[in-house]
Chain A
Amino acid sequence: MTPTATALEPKTSHDTPTALPLRVVSLAKRFGQTVALDGVSLEVKAGECVGLLGPNGAGKSTLIRSIVGRVLPDSGSVEVFGLAAGSMGARMALGWIPQEIALYPRITVRENLAAFGRYFALSRTQIHDSVAWCLKWAALEDRAGDIAKTLSGGMKRRLNMAAGLVHRPRIVLMDEPTVGVDPQSRNRIFEMIESLRAEGTAIVYTTHYMEEAERLCDRIAIIDHGKVIAQGTKDALVRDVFGQRSQVLARFSSPVPGIVAWAESHGGRLVDSTAEFTIEHSSQVGPLLESAASAGLILDDVSIRRPNLESVFLHLTGRELRD
């Protein structure tokens, strides 16, 4: 799946070679009364893939658009390879894959890619080479002559991604690139992103799908209500929040109010019809189930698991990722 990369000469000759691909410091932005970003700080190192994990409305897209220079922050700063966001150097170094299918629907796949190449002032040869690379990367070579709007949903997503890479940026911002695609297309997109990572491209990946963040990202920043509430590797986040504790998931075929009352009386909560508890030691499971039986609840099944990012998010915010 990894295409032969035809790296373009960097257009940004003014950036500091040793500067971080991305440094966001205390970024704040309000839209009227709504606080979209509330002092967000974030760093991305070369070749690193950082996931921005958070529910809809958490501020992920505003953060991405601030980095691209499309949103002017009220305070704070954004540097791309040491250059201010929105500067020509930063624009050339950044690739932005927006959440929307931001393409020209009435022209072909190849023409779309070439158009964005021209917007980045690539030469004719560079456009030729880069379009070829993009088509191969997005597995759209056999659809190059098709009109964009006639493509399937998954293909449009892949073209949308390729259009953000046509100038071969060194850091790519992906804003929920798998929204609305089927599992097969999603896997193909994952492969595309992994091939990009293999080339050493830094990536910021926003999603509210925990599995995507776990699979693709070296490091994860959990964002909620415009704040980064925790960041680190998946294991570090789970360890920091839960230590060595485990989670007990118990499902009952009993009326919901009874389950909720019982779970809350034992420090647990009901999530998707499943009572969820955090325990320090497995020996606590027996007494817990005995208590449920005493409360008249009929147990269907029970499991013990290590906490995941979803658990971390739930623990930190009190709500689920997909809320």
Chain B
Amino acid sequence: MFSVARTSLLALRRDRAAFVLSFILPIAFFSIFAVIFGGRHDTTPRVKVILVDEDKSEASRGLVRGLSRESSLIVATHPEPSGKDAPVPPDYTAATAEAAVKAGEFSVALIIPSGFGQHPVGFGPDSNAVPLQLLNDSSDMIAPQVVIGMLQKAAFTSMPAVMAQQGMQYSERYLGDFTPAQRAKMQASLDDLKRVQSNLENSSSSGSDTASSASIIAVNTRSVVGDNKNNSMISFYAAAIGVMFLLFTATGSAGALLDEAESGALDRVLSSRITMTRLLAGKLFYNTVLAFIQLVAMFLWGWAVFKLDFFSHLAGFTVMGIATAFSVAAFGLLLASACHTRAQLGALSTLLILIMSSIGGSMFPRFLMPENIQKAGLLTLNAWAIDGFTKVFWRNLPVTSLGPQVGVLLGAGIVLFLIARRVARRWEYA
């Protein structure tokens, strides 16, 4: 028994890269998950929300100020200027805000309609409060909950005077008219409250940490993306899981290069009319086609079993599928070219693919991750591929909107291939 174990250990020690990676892999992967889910509050993901103030009342402005101070929200009232010195674009309207949510630029848009200031808060079912409009992308189920929670908090902390005034109105309505003396006294108290509120707003405090679950501000929520899909996350997971396994299979397939090098077949091929560039290009083409067919099979399965709306998105799927397949094929080719043995390739590819998949959104959506991890995710093929497929299947965006994703994937594929070609020079001549 020990002699067998000893022989296995000797073989592992001879392949030092595989030996080292077998220890690095679990540590690296553990560290990534620890960073993402380790409860580091300074990197908690923040919800990106658009605020559209159609009311322009004292109450609505207070609400906007209150929400803007919330550290858990990234509030925008207008699009980012196109350059440093560019003029600030006009504020979002209900229509442009909805378009931005549909395009995936923001998770939520909150529209404060005209008339909100007249009846900002309401208690009870017969309330005549004007509800806010919350537009959301139903793929992100957390963002609207966060915004609604913050909204209630802001109502208490940012509009105390409005709240008090509304309370007085309720009292007068249900208890009878106040006397002029009572009315004057209440007005004085209200003025004091407004002064306190003004002082608070001028301070840097972000408000109390206490939260209220009472819905004193009415909100009508409407999903502008994915609302009509009964298979909400299928397209996301088809892309997310698909890309991860594509990376594995592309790397495994490219590993045939190592087998051919070891058997001498590679030498033999290179002594024919086939040059190294043509050889690698042939492998790239084959692995691209293979990866694309795998994607087709996966999405067809999603269509047949999970009612994924595949055939309505054929053009977008084809464009994204080819770009994704090309980039993962080039990635696999680079890894195979860089490794000396199958064991090395197995260890290195597992390490890289699991890291890429975890921070790139193949294992869980990127919007759940801390901001810095979300940014790091943009360095992965997974993130761009998933974003592209999400645009096609989730947001129903046209093929023309896939420019950034397709550009990055094809560009990355070309760069990876060129590096693979450079690395493969070691096989060309002795």
Contacts and interface: CB of A to CB of B under 8 A. Distances in A.
A132 to B, nearest CB: 20
Given A101-B263, A102-B265, A103-B263, A72 B271 contact: no
Contacts of A119: 269, 272-274
Nearest to A163: B268
B174 interface: no
Interface string B266-288: 01111111100000000000000
B430 A72 contact: yes
A72 B274 CA distance: 17
A69 B271 contact: yes
Given A102-B265, A103-B263, A103-B265, A94 B430 contact: no
Interface residues of A, number: 27
Contacts of A103: 263, 265
B2 interface: no
Contacts of A101: 263-264
A246 B270 CA distance: 48
Given A91-B273, A116-B272, A102 B430 contact: no
A105 B256 CA distance: 11
Nearest to B259: A105
Q: How large is the interface on B (under 10, 10 to 19, 20 to 34, 35 or more residues)?
A: 10 to 19
A119 B275 CA distance: 10
B386 to A, nearest CB: 34
Contact of A104 (B265, B272, B429): B265
A65 B273 contact: no
B430 A70 contact: yes
A92 B430 contact: no
B272 A102 contact: no
B272 A91 contact: yes
Contacts of A91: 271-273
A102 B273 contact: no
Contact of B430 (A31, A88, A164): A31
Contacts of B271: 68-70, 91, 94, 96
A102 B268 contact: yes
A104 B260 CA distance: 8
Given A101-B263, A119-B273, A96 B429 contact: no
Interface string A88-129: 100110101011111111000000000010011100000000
A70 B429 contact: yes
A293 B429 CA distance: 60
Most chain A Cβ neighbours within 10 Å, of B260, B269, B430: B430
A119 B59 CA distance: 77
A68 B428 CA distance: 12
Interface string B233-269: 0000000000000000000000000001001110111
B425 to A, nearest CB: 12
Contacts of B267: 65, 70, 98, 102
B275 to A, nearest CB: 9
Contacts of A94: 271
Contacts of B263: 100-103, 105
Nearest to A122: B273
A46 interface: no
A98 B268 contact: yes
Contact of B273 (A98, A99, A104, A120): A120
Interface in A256-300: none
Contact of B264 (A100, A120, A167): A100
B198 to A, nearest CB: 79
18 contacts: A65-B267, A68-B271, A69-B429, A70-B271, A71-B429, A72-B430, A88-B273, A91-B271, A91-B272, A98-B264, A101-B263, A102-B263, A102-B264, A104-B260, A104-B265, A116-B272, A119-B273, A164-B268
Interface of B: 260, 263-265, 267-274, 429-430
Given A72-B430, A100-B264, A101-B263, 19 more contacts: A65-B430, A70-B270, A70-B429, A71-B429, A71-B430, A72-B429, A91-B272, A92-B273, A96-B271, A98-B267, A100-B263, A102-B263, A102-B267, A102-B268, A104-B265, A116-B272, A119-B273, A120-B273, A121-B273
